[in-house]
Amino acid sequence: MPEAPPENVGSDGIPQPEHHLGGFAHANRRRVLSLLAGASATAALSTSGAPTAAAATPREEGRTRVVLLGTAGGPSVFDPGRAGVSTAVVHEDRVYVVDLGVGSYRRLGQAGLDPAGPGNLLANVRGIFFTHLHSDHMVDWPSLYATAAFNSIGRTQPPIRVFGPGRRSELPRVFPPGSPEPPIVNPDDPMPGISAMTSYLRQAFAADLNDRARDSATPDPSGVFEPRDIDLTGVWDVDAAGKPPRLSGPIPVWEDGEVRITATLVDHHPTAPAFAYRFDTPDGSVVVSGDTTVTPNLIDLAHGTDYLVHEVIDKRYVDRTVSQLPPEQANALREHLLASHTTIEQVGRDVAEAACARNLVLTHLVPADNEVGRWRLAQKGYSGRLIVGADLMSLAVRH
């Protein structure tokens, strides 16, 4: 079972430094319902890049660390104090980034993970791992890709490996059943994977890339990155429902020296495939859930982990939101938010406790401007240490 919370944790199981978060929790509450009227998903992203939520955030040092670059979930902008979801796992001078929500690219620099000197932001990045291809998890990927040559000037390492879902052969189902089929975007290739998407980025930025290559000998970003679709051959042929099978073990992804990365399939239906990643280092392990409802595969992958970095949604917020929408839109939104995400009541009791995770770190907060006290309710049913994530929080990984 997980260890008892350390002495510096309050009676509610929360590390004391988190109290600074309450100051901006109410900042944009009045804007929520008006912005949601046309939204298909929820929560908060930040384009400001300003580290307002992180000024008093705990920053533990250690050979292996978890660094939260962004903690807001969803494509709607509610809280300028949080960037879109992104998590870095750092071992010595190696940086591994999971997802790239809005503003997380700038957070990478603010986190101090780059060597001294301009143009070296990507110098220590070894790999980028996308959990799934929803925009709020990868919208900063085009920015990072297009400007890579100017942020990897001092880089001497091999190309950055970029892992993520491969091409999906079948479109997701339409919900509710019987609804009319919407127009298909890019019908010749409607569900590209990370490799194909990256090739489209090269086409989209062709004018910029050609101009800079001819005028100032700027390197092509294709030399900086090595995209790789995670191969699911013999594991799962993704269908329209998008509900993954139970796996007998983790999916090998990469062994980079002392760091071993594995993955599993999580349930974020109908979006599929969707992955969670585990990073095992000599100092301990970190699991990043991506977007998912309670999934046995994830519990298996996270068994005994030192840090489980997991998404969370507030059901009270969902109820309040859908009550403002017409029934046909409300039902579809409720189905997505509650059937493919993990609630406050579930995340500690049904996931972290079942996995015997020592620490549960909440991220992808929906809504991101929620009161911190609401997130602390996830402690119920969980005997480990609960941490409400904040941008630029750094947590040392130790067995």
Mean of pLDDT values over 128-154: 96
Residue 194: phi and psi, rounded to 5, are -65, -35
Kindly report, residue by residue over 131-141, the tens digit of the pLDDT.
Answer: 999 999 999 99
Which stretch of DSSP H or E encloses residue 309? Answer: strand 307-313
Cα separation, 205 vs 197, in Å, equals 12
Percentage of residues in the chain with pLDDT exceeding 90? 74
Q: What share of the chain is helix, strand, coil (3-state, %, to 5)?
A: 25, 20, 50
DSSP state of 163: E
pLDDT of the residue at 249: 97
Other CB atoms within 10 Å distance of the CB of residue 28: 18
Q: pTM to 2 decimals?
A: 0.86
pLDDT at 218 over 60: yes
**Residue 1 exposed, middle or buried by CB count within 10 Å (0-12, 13-18, 19+):** exposed
pLDDT band at residue 7 under the 50/70/90 scheme: very low
pLDDT at 187 over 80: yes
- Domains in the chain and their CATH numbers? 16-137+241-396 (3.60.15.10)
pLDDT of the residue at 178: 85
Measured in whole angstroms, the distance separating CA 52 from the mean position of its chain's CA atoms is 20
Strands (E), 186-250: 225-229
Q: The tokens 């017409």 sit on which residue? A: 326
Mean of pLDDT values over 236-261: 98
pLDDT band at residue 166 under the 50/70/90 scheme: very high
Cα separation, 139 vs 376, in Å, equals 29
Average pLDDT, whole number, for the chain? 87
Mean of pLDDT values over 360-375: 96
